[in-house]
């Protein structure tokens, strides 16, 4: 990127790969795996599991997520769906808005751990133990809390206060402060068990029993059968053509089709001729995004999403007809204030065999449901269905904070 005043941030380049995430220790975990000969899938799982340790408020093994894998120069693409469903016993008539905002009834079935293991099984090149080693090492030896760590934990005191175990993990010994060394021995033990036994020990073993028992004792619905029945699903991506390129993303019920629809609308305009960030450019870009957003809200979770029609060029043409170009040069009459309720974290890695990987997780409200001796938070399925805005629940003794919308990984692999 070009220099800005006296600051300059050059593009990161390398011959053997690169890793980027919201925390340097997680990025180092991915680099460590690449240097040891792993590929992008190995690095992505290493980064994701390490983020569980260094940024537990963003993503964790108890969260949910998606992965997009592109291999052989784009000739082969796969979507891995590990969004956990709401418990089978969930009943919208027996839950309040407050309970959905935080608490044991807000817990969905954890999916990240199962997704990580499924990705490693199909496309990974390293044993589970080596991939999870960075996360285990940091959890056992301890990590220094950053200023951001401290701020997030302090802001979450009301949610953390609902659980004795959450208080022990994050608020004990004087509470969080920048530079304080935090250790998560139970989380390290959990990852060691997974390294030895795979996802089976998590979804059908003693860990599953502890999760279900904790949630149910707190008044929630998640059961051992919910965990035992969870399976990540490999799916086909959705695709469009855009100015000679093929653009792919994850299919419904996820809302990524909004971006593809927006590109379809913009394809009919001379964006380059208008000039980047010109009045016309910004007006049509914003209006196209608004139209795509409206369809996301209308169709993303409605069940049978008419995805073929939404992504058709004919529909994009009809959407362009709804944009009033003369409005582009009128003075604005109001301003908007974006919400700061949710936060997100992103990570990326690429190996020497041109296998980049990116992982993303977002954090919103925490539920604070905890299980003795397991110590990880659980994800929330608002409205008793998978795919809506989630928050967090706790399982004691495992050291996870599964707050937010989960994680999303995009992987591009060479043969």
The DSSP line for 159-224 is HHTT-HHHHHHHT-TT---TT-EE--HHHHHHHHHHHHHTHHHHHTSHHHHHHHHHHHHTT----H
* 90 shares its domain with 195: yes
Q: Is the peptide bond prior to 253 cis by the omega test (within 30 degrees of 0)?
A: yes
Distance, CA of 406 to CA of 85 (rounded, Å)? 13
Per-residue pLDDT tens digits for 117-130 = 999 999 999 999 99
Which of 298, 329, 360 is a domain's end point? 329
pLDDT higher than threshold 60 for residue 381:
no
Same domain, 204 and 89: yes
Residue 282 corresponds to which tokens in the numbers above? 């910004």
pLDDT in tens, 35-82: 999 998 999 999 999 999 999 988 889 999 999 888 887 888 999 999
The number of domains in the chain is 2
Phi-psi bin for 368: left (phi > 0), alpha (psi -120 to 50), beta? left
| Gap between the Cα atoms of 237 and 256, Å rounded | 10
Question: How confident is the model at residue 302, as a pLDDT?
Answer: 78
Integer Cα distance of 263 and 39 in angstroms? 31
Residues 259 and 214 in one domain: no
Same domain, 191 and 286: no
Name the residue range of residue 266's domain.
Answer: 253-329
Is residue 248 domain-resident?
A: no
Residues 280 and 398 reside in one and the same domain: no
Judged by DSSP in three states, 335 sits in coil
Q: Confirm whether 188 is domain-assigned.
A: yes
Which of 152-161, 171-180, 306-315, 404-413 is the least confident region? 404-413
Contact 359, 346 (CB under 8 A): yes
Q: Is the pLDDT of residue 378 over 80?
A: no
CATH number, domain at 313?
1.10.246.130
Can you tell me the distance from the alpha carbon of 387 to that of 407, in angstroms, rounded to the nearest whole number?
12
Partners of 406 in beta bridges: 362
> Same domain for 92 and 190?
yes
The pTM assigned to this predicted structure is 0.80
Structure tokens at 62: 């108890």
Q: In whole angstroms, how far apart are CA 118 and each of 133, 249, 343?
A: 18, 19, 27
- The per-residue pLDDT for range 9-42, each reduced to its tens digit, is 788 787 777 888 889 999 999 999 999 999 989 9
Query: Helix H segments across 76-143?
Result: 97-101, 112-123, 128-141
- The answer to whether 111 and 64 have CB atoms below 8 angstroms apart is yes
Structural domain contains residue 339? no
């Amino acid at each position: 990127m070009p220099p800005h005043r006296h600051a300059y941030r050059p593009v990161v380049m390398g011959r053997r790969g690169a890793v980027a995430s919201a925390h340097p220790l997680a990025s180092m975990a991915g680099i460590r795996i690449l240097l040891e000969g792993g590929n992008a899938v190995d690095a992505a799982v290493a980064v994701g599991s390490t983020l569980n340790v260094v940024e537990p408020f963003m993503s964790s093994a108890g969260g949910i997520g998606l992965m997009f894998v592109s291999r052989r120069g784009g000739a082969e693409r796969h979507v891995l769906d590990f969004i956990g469903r709401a418990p089978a016993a969930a009943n919208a008539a027996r839950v309040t808005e407050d309970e959905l905002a935080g608490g044991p009834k807000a817990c969905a079935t954890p999916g990240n751990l199962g997704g990580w293991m499924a990705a490693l099984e199909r496309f990974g090149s390293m044993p589970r133990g080596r991939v999870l080693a960075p996360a285990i090492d940091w959890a056992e030896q301890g990590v220094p809390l950053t200023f951001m760590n401290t701020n997030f934990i302090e802001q979450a005191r009301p949610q953390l206060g609902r659980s004795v175990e959450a208080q022990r993990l994050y608020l004990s010994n004087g509470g969080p402060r920048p530079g304080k060394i935090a250790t998560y021995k139970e989380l390290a033990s959990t990852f060691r068990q997974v390294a030895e036994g795979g996802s089976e020990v998590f979804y059908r073993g003693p860990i599953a029993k502890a999760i279900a028992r904790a949630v149910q004792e707190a008044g929630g619905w998640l059961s051992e059968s919910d965990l035992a029945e969870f399976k990540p699903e490999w799916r086909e991506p959705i695709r469009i053509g855009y100015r000679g390129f093929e653009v792919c993303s994850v299919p419904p019920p996820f809302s990524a089709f909004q971006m593809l629809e927006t590109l379809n609308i913009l394809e009919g305009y001379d964006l380059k001729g208008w000039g980047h960030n010109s009045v016309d450019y910004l007006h049509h870009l914003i209006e196209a995004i608004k139209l795509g957003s409206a369809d996301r809200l209308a169709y993303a979770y409605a069940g049978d999403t008419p995805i073929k029609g939404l992504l058709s060029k004919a529909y994009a043409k009809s959407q362009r007809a709804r944009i009033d170009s003369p409005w582009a040069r009128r003075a604005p009459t109001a301003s908007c204030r974006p919400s700061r309720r949710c936060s997100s974290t992103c990570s990326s890695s690429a190996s020497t065999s041109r296998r980049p990987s990116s992982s993303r997780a977002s954090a919103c409200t925490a539920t604070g449901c905890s299980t003795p001796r397991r110590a990880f938070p659980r994800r929330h399925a608002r409205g008793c269905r998978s795919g809506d805005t989630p928050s967090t629940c706790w399982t004691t003794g495992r050291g996870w904070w599964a707050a937010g919308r989960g994680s999303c990984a995009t992987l591009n692999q060479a043969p």
